[in-house]
Structure 1
Amino acid sequence: MNSKIWLVVHVLFVFSTTVLSDDTDITNLIAFKNSLGNPKPLTDWNPDVEPCNLDKENWTGIICGKDGSVFGLQLENMGLTGTINMDILAEISSIRTLSFANNNFGGVMPDVKKIVLLRNIYLSNNNFSGVIGDDAFAGMNSMKKVELQNNKFSGRIPGSLTGLSILVDLQMQDNEFEGEIPDFEQTGLKVNFANNKLTGPIPRGLKNQDASSFAGNNLCGEPLKNSCKIKKKHKKAFIIAAIAIGVLAIILLSLLILRARRTPKNNYKYHQTTKLNNNPYKTNANEIQMHHHEEEKTPKRTENGGKLQFVRDDREPFDLQDLLRASAEVLGSGSFGSSYKAALVDGPAVVVKRFREMTNVRKEEFYTHMTKLGSLSHPNLLPLVAFYYKKEEKLLITDFAENGSLASHLHGNRKPNEPGLDWPTRLNIIKGVAQGLDYLYKELPHLTLPHGHLKSSNVLLDSTFNPLLADYGLIPIINKQHGQEFMVAYKSPEFTQHDRTTAKTDVWCLGILILEMLTGKFPANYLKQGKGGSSDLETWVNSVVREEWTGEVFDKKMKGTKNGEGEMLKLLKIGMCCCEWNIDRRWDLKVAMEKIGELKEIGDDEDYSSYASDGDAYSSRAATDDDFSFSVVDPKP
């Protein structure tokens, strides 16, 4: 009996302690929210609601453990400002991971060492600056991932990072770190130090890393091609050389003095003037300095001697003069610049696209990113062939797609008897788009928006109407303000309402594209600059689908729909699940890929009403096929 009483008392004690701990965590989290300069995205942090319901999050940006504790914070892409108060966060004993990536935090790096059991810290794409103390990570033996890229950190790389025995990922590129890289010998560690001011030899423990991880520095040794020159200095030889140089300097100085005395001043002046006038280059001091600076930073030219940088080995190289000699045709002018078709004399037609909104990107960063995009290869991606860098503008050269854009086929003017895209063709296009997008997600995992600008005018069609995604992966190099003004991802509900994007934002773009292709209606909010206003987009989506379940849905110009209405309905529901406004209910790309892959041109006799049941991410008005009459009508203006 006594043992039972003891057990009850023990359980009550543990329970009361847990409740007290939870209340303390809530108090600390609210205090942390209030310490931020712009906590608007965290409006659902309500002290009357538990942050976690076991492992389910009730608050935005909270990561919950299986036991209902606050395991971490993932406050990304929220436009947060101010400072990160580590003293408050250190009071929450269960925190193991922190991500504040893609915000507007500034000042010195937060003192992460205050949470000694922290496993992951993500501070990339902010405005942090200053020197990080050498002992900043001392004793953090649980740390596995550190991401500090794209800030303004300076000084030496903290030596305490080398003591983190289980560190597997270290991203420090695009900062202003200087000095030599300390010795890293962790097994399985992947690093990136590109685009800093680092000097000296690369440590032996990092020789198996990718060479691109050290680009944009003054480093030598493996894995780079330039070997380190080791100079052995002997004290005796140095003293002898110094004496010899001193004697030689005295002799030369004496000769110059004697010559100056013998040469009339006016004759000397005339001689110098004549020499300058005969110089065929006639350059001034500023031009010399600019030329020298350009020489230092310009990568090695291609064998053809041109300034175009080719990123593919399966194309015959050409130069700018070849483009100038080619017959040109203006294809259009978009939000980034103009596009031209150039028919090369001794080669295929290519498309040259001018970008003027990339002036904030550094040369090394631009080269690195373009090289990565040029390495991508997929049947549903428009290949990048070459690029040209100039401070004021950039040129991207791609293959030419014979059948133009999907937008031109959906919304362009046609001849009286010219047919529109039929249902089988549209289905094949969407399948190809989804496959191309899935490939981008896999190859560009470090980007929140692997595409970022997915719309019908950026889906090109080759000679067999195979879809090719264009203008992908440009978010890191487009000027931020211009990108948020014009790019499709920034028309999404999460950005128009909360100033943030997520891994599901490109899926939202895919959903809108599906609805546009099925209905033939253009998403008018895309034409607005800046935030298109949530009401415009909501009105459009609802008018196309949610308010028209009982009638006029599909595009009249879409032929070949006989016996395919059920599959068209499935795709319509997939589109709705992809562009669901509630991110939690929106499908991720993997689910969308599976459902799109199951679609056929002609459906079977089955009940389609339960097709979109996954996550219930569609309007309840879409519950039964009785709500649909598959009438085909003219799209409304």
Structure 2
Amino acid sequence: MDHNHHLWHLSLLIISLHVLSLHVSGASETTELLKLKGSLGNTGELHGWALDSIPCHVNKSTWKGVICENGAVFGLRLENMSLTGHVDMDALIGLPGLRMVSFQNNSLQGSILDQLGKLGPLRLVFLSDNQFSGVIPANAFEGKGSLRRVHLSRNKFSGPIPVSLTGLSKLVELKLDGNQFTGEIPDFPQQDLQLDVSNNELEGPIPADLSKMNSGCFAGNKNLCGAPLKIICKPDPDPHKISIPLLIVLILVGVAVALAVIGGIFFLISRRRRKKPLLSIPPANQKKAGRYNKDLVDKPEGEAAGGEKGTAKDQDPGKLVFVKEDREQFELNDLLRASAEVLGNGSFGPSYKALLLSGSAMVVKRLKEMNGVGREEFHHHMRRLGRLRHPNLLPLVAYYYRKEEKLLVSDYVANGSLAQQLHGNRSLNRRKLDWQVRLKIVKGVANGLAYLYNEFPNQILPHGHLKSSNVLLDASFEPLLVDYALAPVINKEHAIQHMVAYKSPEYTEHSRVARKSDVWSLGILILEMLTGKLPSSNHRQGKGGGSSSSSSGDLATWVNSVVREEWTGEVFDSEIEATGMALKLLQIGLGCCERDVQKRWNLREVMERIEELRGKDSEDDYSSISEGNFESSGMTDDDFSFSRNV
């Protein structure tokens, strides 16, 4: 009896000591956080930080911007609060459980990273969009092997990039763009590192291990050279003076080049004065470069078409065939005489913009990979495409068929593609792609894809090539799908190499596509719109010559890693907020990207979930990502369990 009595007293003592330790820890953290608050200005949003309370109650935060775990401060997320002043690093050092720090989008100053080594094992450091400045010590990141993501974008940091960053084996994201860093880029050994050093004052050759990255990650540094930039590095200057004979040779070469340039200018001027057609759509077997063999267009095809007599007799092989009777009619020669410009060279061939004398602007696409298609098969499929009517499909206007030349004609859309809007130059005059605009585009794309599914019930790939560059935007930013339903008439080898559906997991692993392959493409497109990232953005070439970014699934992998390991809010593009509706669309995108085609959502389920989304959140839908509370939006960790092994 006495033994049990002593055990009871001992248990009570242990519990009391544990409670006391939590209280002491909470009181200590309260002191340090109030010290931090005292070092900052414009702290109106931190009015709840008070001496008569503690920041953490078990895993629940009672102070704004504080993330708690096991009753201790685990992270600080003081973003978008207009804070000013200098961060008291001693206060942060007094928080031993601190693993995540974010002061993004404030007006904070000082050299915050000088004492980084005194902090605990941090995993995330987000300091972008402030006025932090100064030279970061070369050893600032030594001993910080737990760091995974470091964002220092758009500050005033200067001096060399700290070489200690190269020793962080777990580092997956490093954003240094928009600062004043100088010197050469260190050679980062981390595999699949997403690096951005654009818009600094860096110089010298880009390390070879970084040469497979996107060139935009290095733009805005005038003195950088080497791949992926198109600037060739100059060899080291010869310390000896140049010899007189070599100098004479160089002068003579320079004079010859100058004369050649002048002659070229006069040649171009003389050609313009001849007033020849500006659009030339040469056939694949042209005899002279830059000249159009008119005989191959105006004369009937006859036996030259492979003896296909009696097929498609109602079509004149020397003329355009219009599939829309209510459209302006014009001849092929009208296109050849029109002023024109090259729009690009896509997966199926080059495209030209032709401005007719009537003022209409048309797009002419040469289909270079259809040489195995018979005339009757081509005519039948084009007429079928011509019967499609949907507000989210760019309609085919006309087509032209020859055995060696096939053209598709459609209207020109001035706003360009979704890819240009997402990844092009984000100038001040550009319309911002906010949440409502992006949701409108997603719904339009999904509606267009659903229409194709209904119109081509027996075709495995109703679209086959769905990607952001194949989504055009009209004047009201309504999406228009292009290059759809062409899989049956594209050469199989070319389709496998270039069409998006053939990049899906089911083809890369099992050499087959399925009806759900277009759903996978839709999922990648949704993730691209939410993140603002290219499907294979910033990934380096992997071992064995294969590219780690060869599959668009890389984007789904990255989204999963951020969602499951860190803060979901970091996934979203800077032009949209991480609200409850955005989180639900993120879940839909990941559901479309499920690697197992059997478990992947079907298009009907995707459509139903997309239609439920609204332009604005209600109070029930809103999730305060800055508080690290995903459950408030009704979304748990299990909701983001798709594509774990993508």
TM-score (norm 2): 0.47
